[in-house]
Amino acid sequence: MRPNSSFLLAFSAPALASLQIIPGATWTASDGRHIQAHGAGVIAENGTYYLIGEDKTDGTPFQNVNCYASTDLVRWDYVGALLSRTSSGDLGPDRIVERPKVIYNEATQKYVLWMHIDSRDYGDAKAGVATGDSVCGKYGKRLYHLLKSYSNIPLEYQGSVRPLGFQSRDMGLYKDDDGSAYLLTEDRQNGLRIDKLDSTYTKVESNVYTWSEKIESPAMVKVDGRYYMFGSHLTGWDPNDNVYSTSTSLSSGWSSWREFADDGANTYASQTTFILPYGDGNFMYLGDRWRSDSLFSSTYIWLPLTIGGPTSVSLKNKVNWVPNLLGGGVWTEGITETSYEGEAGQAGGAAKTVSCNDCSGGNAMGYIGGPDSGTLTISGITTQKAGTTTIRIRYANGDSSTRYANVRVNDRPAVKLAFLPSRGGVGSSTLVADLETSDNTIVFEGVDGGWGPDIDRLFVPVE
């Protein structure tokens, strides 16, 4: 299965003004839903990036391993599910499938997907693998649990075993310059492990290194001949100050663990899932901001990561920033914005100003959508540079489920946006829109008779 060509082609039509990443915001994909790719990894192919992660729509039990595609790391096309729940077995009801990661094997011409497989009480602690012929195609329905002693058995389901006989929970994958590949796996009894995979990438061959420290959510990159391993401490769903270790050899010489974000910031309320090299020597930290009581509403903390040497790795929090993948590949700070108050817009139908303690000025425009088809129209929006840009939408959603709105910009076809629960406060959602330099109009409407969010204000880049 390949990305929807019409969606990806639509990306490149207007001039690009400022496509921004908004860490922690509701992130709507092409299917009109918040991206469901938690614990994800990314693989790039022919200028397209594929985001592969967990579907948490219905909570903890396994539902799908989803795949999304993007050419700019901001706008994501939902492609489909690589693996889906089956009637029984390791992909069956009430099972755990987490942290899927994909690498490509040039020798076998197969994409290899590894993931954490477990029981609901996390007692199984296994690693599973599946293979596919295309990066976002349906992977083989057979799931393999691998042990070195099974290396001569054909690739088919092997039952409940652990890599080299050790526990395996949070995991990652790393493919080195020479084509060798490694499973990065958290062994609760012994520590974080680097295990070498065989030439097919589907079997664990040997252990390369084990840290005695208890570190999970591993992710690794190589910069100028030096390896950097990132991970988090073990605090369940709660965030902590994530750390990194570095060495010029996978098998020895690893440094003590160091923090890389501001001390005490709990990695900006996130947990490492992947480190993405992209563009002209850039690195992006991909983290999950977990909401354990409503996992579907967990968001993504993606930030530029500076790797300047073994003692110079730094991650700084940002409200917004520009990865600039299509503009040279050198990230820039977030664009200066102009704000437009929701309650200052034109109400239609039953929409009206409502009180909102955490909103700007204490008010928002509410009753959008619903049985009386409330609408909000904000006119007179300006920017110094026409083109495609990212608009931040501050909103309130007091429900325990996602609200939706159809959003029309300058009479173009409506785009369905998701607005996650804001937990009694104010949240952010993102709208990618094509703007003219002046006289832009944005209209918010309900979807299928449902209630939309209460709109606090819009932040529009000035250029």
The predicted pLDDT at position 282 comes to 93
Among 134-148, 329-343, 448-462, name the one with the lowest average pLDDT: 134-148
8: confidence class by pLDDT, cuts 50, 70, 90: very low
The predicted pLDDT at position 16 comes to 61
SS3 assignment for the chain: CCCCHHHHHHHCCCCEEECCECCCCECECCCCCECCCEEEEEEEECCEEEEEEECCCCCCCCCEEEEEEECCCCCCEEEEEEEECCCCHHHCCCCEEEEEEEEEECCCCEEEEEEEEECCCCCCCEEEEEEECCCCCCCCCCCEECCHHHCCCCCCCCCCCCHHHCCCCCEEEEECCCCCEEEEEEECCCEEEEEEECCCCCCEEEEEEECCCCCEEEEEEEECCEEEEEEECCCCCCCCCCEEEEECCCCCCCCCCEECCCCCCHHHHCEEEEEEEECCCEEEEEEEECCCCCHHHCEEEEEEEEECCCCCEEECCCCCEECCHHHCCCCEECCCEEEEEHHHCEEECCCEEEECCCCHHHEEEECCECCCCEEEEEEEECCCCCEEEEEEEEEECCCCCCEEEEEEECCCCCEEEEECCCCCCCEEEEEEEEECCCCEEEEEECCCCCECCEEEEEEEECC
Edge-to-edge strands of the sheet including 243-247? 216-223, 226-232, 243-247, 258-259
Amino acid letter, residue 55 = D
pLDDT digits (tens, 9 = 90+) for 100-153: 999 999 999 988 999 999 999 999 999 998 888 888 876 554 333 333 332 222
Cα distance between residue 68 and residue 300, in whole Å: 14
- Specify the CATH number of the domain 337-461: 2.60.120.260
- Per cent of the chain over pLDDT 90 is 84
Q: Does 96 score more than 90 pLDDT?
A: yes
Rounded to 10 degrees, what is the CA torsion of 352, 356, 362, 368? -30
Per the prediction, the chain carries an average pLDDT of 91
Structural domain boundaries in the chain: 19-315, 337-461
The predicted pLDDT at position 143 comes to 38
Q: Does 224 score more than 70 pLDDT?
A: yes
15: confidence class by pLDDT, cuts 50, 70, 90: low
The predicted pLDDT at position 329 comes to 80
The predicted pLDDT at position 151 comes to 29
The predicted pLDDT at position 133 comes to 85
pLDDT digits (tens, 9 = 90+) for 414-439: 999 999 999 989 999 999 999 999 99
Among 18-27, 75-84, 192-201, 400-409, name the one with the lowest average pLDDT: 75-84
Q: Does 328 score more than 80 pLDDT?
A: no
Q: Does 13 score more than 60 pLDDT?
A: no
The predicted pLDDT at position 139 comes to 56
Q: Does 337-461 match 19-315 at the fold level?
A: no
Cα distance between residue 101 and residue 182, in whole Å: 12
- Is 19-315 CATH 2.40.160.50? no
Give backbone dihedrals phi and psi of 85, rounded to 5 degrees, phi first: -60, 140
Mean pLDDT for 244-267 is 98
440: confidence class by pLDDT, cuts 50, 70, 90: very high
Three-point CA angle 135, 16, 5, nearest 5°: 35
Q: What is the pTM of this model?
A: 0.92
The predicted pLDDT at position 131 comes to 87
| Residue found by looking up tokens 């979807």 in the block | 447
The predicted pLDDT at position 109 comes to 93
366: confidence class by pLDDT, cuts 50, 70, 90: very high
The predicted pLDDT at position 153 comes to 25
Among 22-36, 144-158, 171-185, 258-272, name the one with the lowest average pLDDT: 144-158
